[in-house]
Structure 1
């Protein structure tokens, strides 16, 4: 169960966020409406939300998942792989301390780690080695996790930006997977629910207290999730997709 959510209001600079997409710049007013709807979907799951103010100097700061990782035992301040996002950690740490007190850990140079590359399955954390998360960052994270009785395993990425671009753990042994993750041996022990390639964006969704929050417009994926017995909430994230963002990116859940 999750009790708390940390999210951040999108800044107006969002329109200049990092993007590999070719869909144009986000519409800021629409992005704000979508963010409010996203928060409403989270509230329906019975969580308390700490909403942080916008950071105008950091266009991608709405994606709070990357600069921090929340576990049962500690909060971890990461070191994002994109230089333009490093400053976000200074404002996320005080938020973590409200919940974790002194149990705050840090990823340090030369390690880099985006927590969008980290997927929690119970007390085991899968860490994507990617363009944003390097070997040193992953190694530091594993050391931190083991300090608190948890474990970590590195998963090399070949095609996607972040591990959770193509994966979502829905609890109860169910793993939503797309593309390169469908046949990865690291996940063979889980019940893999394959996402059609045409709906691969929907692989980025979140389980929150029995409900799966997913992007709208992906009927095959939605049907497969409902067949597993989950309640589903759909949210429009079209403006965030334009800056390489998805459902999981906009919240810390713990």
Structure 2
């Protein structure tokens, strides 16, 4: 179960965020409303939400998931692969917020790069995507830190997706949403795989929070498959964040 969530309000510069999508630029006012609705959904799922102030000098800073991995034993500050995002991991308010919840804070060091959007937690085991944003050294350091605390990790080679969690979502109870290259990845054979078609691949980025599953608006087939598994679904519109490669999981740290 999750007790706490950290989010950051989107900045007025959100339209300058990094993107590989061809969906146009996000509209700040719309993004703000969508973020408020996202926080409301999380609150409904029974967590306490810590809201950090926007940082206009960092257009992508609302995507807090990438800058830290929150585990049951420690928080690990990452070192983002995107250079324009590297200083986000050093922001004082984020580190102070994590220190208020964790006694143990660890740090990924150069030349390692890793973004926690590439990390999927399954109990005490962590799958780490080797991607354009997460290099071998970053993954090695992350696994070393996890093992120090009695946790474990393994690397998943990637070729297509931006982040591991772009095409995967673990919904607890052995249920795993899979899209694209992950449908056939041998690492996920033991799971009850719930396939997501490529035209709804963005919908694969859902989050399980205390028996609720937050699902992005506009992906009815994904929503139905999750409902058919017996989960309570909360639908949240993240269309403005999709324009800058962001999904539901990217917008929060959950622990």
TM-score by length of 1: 0.99
DSSP-derived class of the 2:14 partner: helix
The aligned residue for residue 179 of structure 2 is 178
The separation in 2 between residues aligned to 1:54 and 1:220, in whole angstroms, is 34
CA apart distance, 1:93: 1.5
Which residue does the alignment assign to 2:9?
Answer: 9
Q: Measure how far apart 1:43 and its partner are.
A: 0.4
Pairing 1:128–2:129 present:
yes
- 1:66-119 deviations in Å (ceiling 9; x for gaps): 000100000000000011111111222221111003x00000000000000000
- CA deviations 1:139-165 (Å, max 9, x no partner) are 000000000000000001110100000
Query: How far apart are the structure 2 equivalents of 1:24 and 1:178?
Result: 24
Task: Give the ranges of 4+ consecutive aligned residues of structure 1 lying more than 4 Å apart after TM superposition.
Answer: none
SS at match of 1:12: coil
- 1:100 alignment partner in structure 2: 102
Between the aligned partners of 1:182 and 1:34, the Cα distance in structure 2 is: 30
Indicate the RMSD between aligned Cα atoms, in angstroms. 0.6
Distance 2:37 2:159 in 1: 33
Structure 2 regions of 5+ residues with no counterpart? none
Whole-angstrom distance in 2 between the partners of 1:90 and 1:142:
21
1:197 Cα deviation from its structure 2 partner: 1.5
Question: In structure 2, what is the Cα distance between the partners aligned to 1:89 and 1:145?
Answer: 19
Aligned to 2:48: 48
Unpaired runs of at least 5, structure 1 = none
Q: 1:246 matched to which residue of 2? A: 247
Q: Please name the residue that 1:20 is paired with.
A: 20
Q: Deviations over 1:214-234 (max 9, x none)?
A: 101111111100011100001
- In the alignment, which residue of structure 2 is the partner of 1:200? 201
Equivalent residue runs for 1:128-147 within 5 Å: 128-147=129-148
Distance between the aligned counterparts of 1:23 and 1:195, measured in 2? Answer: 21
Q: Deviations over 1:187-229 (max 9, x none)?
A: 0011000011211000101000000001011111111000111
- Determine whether 1:220 maps to 2:218: no
